[in-house]
């Protein structure tokens, strides 16, 4: 079936290439959280917290010859993305079964198949998040779908083929990482629950051996040639923890934070504490000046010469809530997917990027 794409759909302005960090965490009472920092120099105009009902018709699976295959979503889902026609795009999100996941930038390593494997349908990479949330109830089903039903193909969308890799997490507690490269599609099971950008997950995992001595406990006094130096500051146990904003440094920091940070006793406390973990990997505006430039057109607004943490989002597999903050507005906002599962119409709401300040003084 030939599909005529809308102007917005064909426009390369909606770049899906960004930095980002992702993390899964579990609260003390067993709530499963997954979230991410979205780090880039812009956010495509029209991006918002987007709800898509079960029964949504879309044509997100597109072949190298330009044909498209009609799909219908099995599950309602919500996440930050775009209500494009004929197929929506989610950068990350959650569905009504508690499956969560998102896409991150994988520059220099991502490669996709030129031809579709026999017995599978071709899929353009930027559609993977929504397609998985729309069709799969669990991480196990995501794995089966990727192995048996789909081929990620090297077909441009919006004028480009975005280099992406993905993480998915569910109420089982497992986080998988999905990475396409010149050797094929790799699905890493039972991962550490941390993901950043290039290089690939196996490299990041091996790199942790360089930081094996880092701990949460301060070191005591130091004896040097008969002289004892008493500690006068805290945090000495973490000496050597990388502090820059590169992908390897952020991966190491988030693994360290996940290992030692105290999880919340419940969802509310857990989400609040998880936002703090993401702040440790966030890009302050002005500190990450980029030399790699991506294509800019009329739909990209407010592009700056820096990557920065445009927003942070966290999802809970049990309550089905989506929480987020933006760079400008640190007040935590949320959408309750559980209250929307019977809704029939999609919608997208702004992220609320305007700063919000609360006057704590009593009325006199």
- Interval 167-217: pLDDT, tens: 999 999 999 999 999 999 999 999 999 999 999 999 999 999 999 999 999
Residue 298 scores a pLDDT above 80: no
- Average pLDDT on 92-96 reads 98
Which residues are part of the catalytic machinery?
20
Residue whose structure tokens are 């290439």? 17
What local confidence, expressed as pLDDT, does residue 300 receive? 67
Cα 108 to chain centroid, rounded: 19
- Average pLDDT on 316-323 reads 98
Nearest of 58, 56, 50, 63 to residue 90 by alpha carbon: 50
> Is the pLDDT higher at 225 or at 183?
183
**Angle, helices 128-135/139-148, rounded to nearest 10 degrees:** 120
Q: What is the C-alpha to C-alpha distance for residues 104 and 99, in angstroms, rounded to an integer? A: 17
Contact of 60 with 124, CB cutoff 8 Å: yes
pLDDT tens, 17-42? 567 999 999 999 999 999 999 999 99
Radius of gyration from C-alpha coordinates of the chain: 21
Containing H/E element for 164? strand 164-169
Portion of the chain with pLDDT greater than 70, in percent: 91
**Has this prediction a pTM greater than 0.75?**
yes
């Amino acid at each position: 079936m030939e599909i005529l794409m809308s102007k917005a759909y064909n426009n390369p302005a909606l770049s899906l290439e960004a930095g980002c960090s992702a993390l899964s965490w579990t609260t003390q009472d067993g709530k499963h959280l997954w979230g991410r920092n979205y780090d880039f120099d812009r956010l495509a105009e029209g991006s918002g917290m987007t709800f898509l009902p079960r029964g949504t018709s879309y044509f997100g699976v597109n072949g190298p010859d330009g044909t498209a295959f009609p799909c219908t979503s099995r599950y309602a889902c919500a996440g930050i993305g775009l209500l494009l026609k004929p197929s929506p795009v989610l950068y990350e999100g959650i569905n009504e079964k508690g499956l969560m996941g998102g896409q991150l930038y994988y520059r220099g390593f991502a490669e996709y198949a030129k031809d579709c494997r026999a017995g599978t349908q071709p899929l353009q990479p930027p559609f993977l998040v929504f397609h998985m949330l729309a069709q799969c109830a669990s991480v196990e089903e995501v794995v089966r779908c990727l192995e048996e039903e789909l081929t990620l193909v090297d077909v441009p969308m919006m004028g480009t083929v975005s280099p992406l890799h993905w993480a998915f997490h569910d109420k089982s507690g497992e986080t998988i990482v999905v990475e396409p490269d010149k050797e094929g599609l790799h699905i890493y099971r039972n991962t550490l629950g941390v993901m950043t950008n290039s290089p690939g997950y196996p490299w990041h995992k091996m790199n942790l051996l360089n930081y094996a001595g880092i701990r949460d406990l301060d070191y005591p006094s130091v004896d040097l040639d008969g002289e004892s130096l008493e500690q006068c500051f805290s945090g000495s146990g973490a000496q050597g923890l990388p502090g820059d904003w590169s992908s390897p440094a952020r991966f190491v920091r988030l693994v360290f934070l996940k290992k030692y940070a105290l999880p919340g006793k419940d969802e509310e406390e857990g989400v609040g504490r998880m936002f703090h973990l993401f702040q440790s990997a966030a890009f302050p505006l002005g500190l990450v000046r980029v030399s790699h430039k991506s294509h800019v057109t009329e739909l990209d607004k407010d592009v700056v010469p820096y990557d920065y943490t445009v927003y942070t989002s966290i999802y809970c597999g049990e309550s089905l809530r989506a929480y987020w903050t933006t760079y400008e507005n640190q007040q935590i906002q949320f959408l309750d997917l559980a209250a929307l599962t019977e809704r029939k119409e999609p919608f997208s709401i702004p992220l609320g990027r305007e700063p919000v300040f609360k006057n704590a003084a009593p009325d006199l």
